[in-house]
Structure 1
Amino acid sequence: MTKFVALLRGINVGGHKKINMADLKEVVSKCGFAGVQHYIQSGNLVFDGKGTAEAARSKLERAIENAFGFPVDIMVLSENGFRGEVAACPFADGDSPKGELDPKFLQLAFLKGTPDAAHIETLFSAYEGPEMIAYKGHTIHIYFTEGSGRSKLTPLLTDKKLGVPATARNWNTVQKLLSMLDG
C-alpha cells in the first residue's frame, strides 16, 4: 500500500461545489482506498491505496463527478512525491519558513501536470510584484510578502496562464498534511 495526498481544487469556496467531508470520505473509500482522513473543508485528503498517483487521481475525479454532479480537478501525490515537493520549497528549512518569513504568507501551488516552459517563462517574466516565487518540480512556491488577498500574482495562477490547473495550500495546511502522513 502507498500513502497518497489528494488536493481537491475549488470545493466549498463561496458556496460553490459544496461537498460534505463525510460524504467525500465515503466516496473515496468506495473507490477502494483505505484509512481516508480529511483536513478542514477545502478538500485535503490522506489515504492508502494501490497503484499510481495518476490512477488514483483519475479514479477519484470520475467518482466525485458521479457522486456530486460536477467535475473537480484533483492533484494526487504519493507520500514521497508530496514530501519531495514540500522539501523543495526554497523559502523553508525543514518544517519552518526561513529566517523572518511568516508561515501564514507562504503557499505552495500544486500543479496538475507539467506546464509548458513558455507558460512558466511568461508568468515569471511578466510579473514584477513584491512576492517571492519559485517553480520547482510540479509546484510553484510563493511567499506573499503582503498576503495573497490583494496580490496581483493570484489572478495569474489560472489554468489559462499556467496551461495546467493549480491549487494552492498554505504552509500550515501543508504541515498538517505531513503530520497526517506520519500518523
Structure 2
Amino acid sequence: MTPYVALLRAVNVGGTGKLAMTTLTRMCEAAGFEKVKTYIASGNVVFASNKSEAQVRSALEDQLHAHAGKRVGVIVRTAAEIAATLARNPFADQPGNRVMALFVDDKLPREPLEGVTGIKDEEVRLGKRELFVHYPDGMAKTRLKIPGERTGTARNMNTVAKLAELAAAIA
C-alpha cells in the first residue's frame, strides 16, 4: 500500500467550507483508504491505499461532493513526495510558519514570479510540483497574489513537516 497525503482546498478557512475531521476520516474510510489520520482542522489527511494518485483524488473528491453538494479541490501527494517537498524547501533557514508550499497540480510557470502581483518583501521559488513562498512579515497583511492559489492549496512548512512525519509512520 502507498501512503498518501491529501490536502483539501478551502476547508475550515475563515469560517468557510466547514468539515469536521471525524467526517473527513469517515469519508476516507468509505473510499477504501486505510490507516486514516487527520491533522489539524484545515483539511489535511494521511492514509494508505492501493489506488493510484488519480484514483485516490477522484474517490475523495466524489465523497466530498456527495457530502458538501459542491466540488472541493483535493491535492494528493505520496508520503515520499511530501518528504521531498520538505527537503527541497529553499527557505529552510526561515521560521516554518513564515514559509508556505503552494501545492498545485497545474503546470508550474517557467519563472516563479510569472503572473504574481502585489509583491513587497515576499520571495517566491519554484519547486517540483509546488511553489515556495517566504513571507518575512507573515501572511496577515500581504497583498501577494499568485495565480496558482485559485486551484492549489498552501501549507506552511511546520504543517508539511508534521504531515511528512505522519505519512512516514503509516508506511
TM-score normalised over the length of structure 2? 0.90
Shift in CA distance, 127/18, structure 1 to aligned 2, threshold 3 Å: closer
Letter in 1 for 2:50: K
Tell me by how many angstroms 1:51 deviates: 2.3
> 2:83 touches 2:161 (CA, 8 Å); kept in 1?
no
CA distance in 2, matches of 1:162, 1:38: 24
Please give the per-residue CA displacement for 1:66-122, whole angstroms capped at 9, x wherever unaligned: 122221101000112222222221112xxxxx2xx222211111112324548x552
Q: Give the equivalent residue in structure 2 for 1:29.
A: 29
CA distance in 2, matches of 1:107, 1:121: 15
Please give the per-residue CA displacement for 1:126-154, whole angstroms capped at 9, x wherever unaligned: 5642112101111110110111111121x
> 1:116 touches 1:163 (CA, 8 Å); kept in 2?
no
Q: Give the equivalent residue in structure 2 for 1:112.
A: 105
SS of 1:122 mapped into structure 2: coil
Q: Counterparts in 2 of 1:8-19, with a 5 A limit?
A: 8-19=8-19
CA distance in 2, matches of 1:15, 1:29: 26
Q: Which 4+ stretches in 1 moved above 3 angstroms?
A: 115-118
Letter in 2 for 1:169: R
Letter in 2 for 1:50: N
CA distance in 1, matches of 2:96, 2:24: 28
Structure 2 gaps, min length 5:
none
Is 2:118 the partner of 1:103?
no
CA distance in 1, matches of 2:163, 2:72: 20
Q: Give the equivalent residue in structure 2 for 1:95.
A: none
1:140 to 127, 131, 147: 131
Q: Give the equivalent residue in structure 1 for 2:48.
A: 48
Shift in CA distance, 164/112, structure 1 to aligned 2, threshold 3 Å: farther
Letter in 2 for 1:173: T
Tell me by how many angstroms 1:15 deviates: 2.3
SS of 2:115 mapped into structure 1: helix
Please give the per-residue CA displacement for 1:6-41, whole angstroms capped at 9, x wherever unaligned: 000101122221111111100110100000000011
SS of 1:152 mapped into structure 2: coil
> 1:115 touches 1:163 (CA, 8 Å); kept in 2?
no
> 1:111 touches 1:164 (CA, 8 Å); kept in 2?
no
What count of residue pairs does the alignment treat as equivalent?
Answer: 169
Which structure has the higher relative contact order (CA within 8 Å, separation 6+)? 2
Structure 1 gaps, min length 5:
93-97
Q: Counterparts in 2 of 1:1-183, with a 5 A limit?
A: 1-92=1-92, 98=93, 101-115=94-108, 117=110, 122-123=114-115, 128-153=119-144, 156-157=145-146, 161-162=147-148, 165-183=151-169
Please give the per-residue CA displacement for 1:154-180, whole angstroms capped at 9, x wherever unaligned: xx13xxx23961111111111111111
SS of 2:124 mapped into structure 1: strand
When structure 1 is superposed on structure 2, of 77-86 and 56-65 the one drifting more is 77-86
Shift in CA distance, 147/11, structure 1 to aligned 2, threshold 3 Å: same
